């Protein structure tokens, strides 16, 4: 007997843009607005395409989360010690967590930095309600930094590589060496997003000697491509613009 597996829907939830991609189907997107409400509207609008009984893997804005890098610790002996260590790292950056936050953290590569993130429990419950209303199940929710950390490949032997994530109000950078994640930085976008990104790239190049950049934004690619700016200011660096759903 043929077994029909539930459909997996990739989705993104950002102040600038919300999108869905059912399987290998077309990207379905809406601009701005209240994020859970826009997701609700998109699911209702495309109910015939999406169907019921599927599951959603959701990538969300870093602005909704608390995120901290975890310096490598070889002595941690299990999940409980890792979570305790992550809590300490949040305290050290002045962002302690209480029971209103759901936290997860891990090291992806041996001897490289890890990442911990936390999302508000009440907000997660709201998302579960929105998705369940349409006969779907929320399978995973990841801030975009955590999603990128989970999927971005190590550059291997050679000069470090940088991944930049550009959202309204902030630009985040994950710097990778041969071992894995080596630095995690945030640059507030006080004027314009491209200017913020270029300031951060100049700092990264001076600090780490990066040889390549992957650039991501939830906005339409025609609005945010940095290729010309990088070519003029940092011509020795290889630049690539990633698709909006690269982390789904």
Confidence category of residue 164, pLDDT binned at 50, 70, 90:
very high
Tens digit of pLDDT for each residue in 66-116?
999 999 999 998 999 999 999 999 999 999 999 999 999 999 999 999 999
Residue 217 reports pLDDT greater than 60: yes
Q: Specify the pLDDT at position 216.
A: 93
Please tell me the distance from the alpha carbon of residue 25 to that of residue 90, in angstroms, as a whole number.
39
Q: Specify the pLDDT at position 3.
A: 42
* Helix and strand counts by DSSP (H, E) for the chain: 8, 13
Q: 112-148 as b/e, with b when 16 or more CB fall inside 10 Å?
A: bbbbbbbbeeebbeebeebbeebebebeebbbbbbbb
Confidence category of residue 1, pLDDT binned at 50, 70, 90:
very low
Tens digit of pLDDT for each residue in 6-26?
688 999 999 989 999 988 788
Q: What does the block give as tokens for 192?
A: 């314009």
Q: Specify the pLDDT at position 2.
A: 41
Residue 60 reports pLDDT greater than 70: yes
Across the chain, what does the average pLDDT equal? 90
156 Cβ neighbours under 8 A, 6+ residues apart: 178
The helix (run of H) or strand (run of E) holding residue 163 is strand 161-167
Tens digit of pLDDT for each residue in 21-38?
988 788 999 988 899 999
pLDDT over 70 percentage in the chain = 94
Q: Specify the pLDDT at position 191.
A: 55
The arithmetic mean of pLDDT across residues 144-164, rounded, is 90
Tens digit of pLDDT for each residue in 238-248?
999 998 889 87
């Amino acid at each position: 007997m043929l077994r029909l597996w539930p459909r997996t829907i990739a989705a993104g939830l950002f102040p600038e843009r919300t999108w869905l991609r059912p399987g290998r189907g077309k990207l379905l997107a809406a601009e701005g607005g209240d994020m859970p409400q826009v997701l609700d509207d998109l699911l209702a609008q495309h109910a015939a395409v999406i169907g019921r009984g599927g599951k959603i893997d959701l990538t969300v804005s870093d602005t909704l989360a608390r995120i901290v890098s975890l310096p490598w610790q070889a002595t941690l002996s299990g999940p409980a010690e890792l979570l305790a260590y992550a809590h300490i790292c949040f305290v050290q950056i002045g962002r302690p967590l209480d029971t209103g936050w759901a936290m997860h953290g891990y090291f992806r590569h041996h001897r490289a930095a890890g990442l911990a993130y936390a999302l508000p429990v009440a907000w997660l419950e709201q998302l579960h309600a929105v998705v369940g209303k349409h006969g779907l199940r929320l399978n995973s929710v990841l801030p975009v930094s955590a999603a990128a950390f989970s999927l971005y490949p190590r550059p291997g032997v050679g000069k470090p590589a940088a991944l930049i994530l550009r959202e309204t109000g902030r630009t985040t950078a994950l710097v990778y060496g041969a071992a894995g994640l080596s630095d995690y930085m945030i640059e507030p976008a006080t004027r314009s997003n491209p200017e913020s990104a270029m300031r951060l790239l100049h700092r990264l190049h001076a600090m780490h000697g990066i040889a390549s950049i992957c650039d991501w934004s939830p906005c339409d690619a025609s609005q945010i491509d940095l290729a010309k700016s990088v070519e003029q200011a940092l011509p020795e660096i290889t630049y690539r613009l990633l698709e909006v759903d690269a982390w789904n």
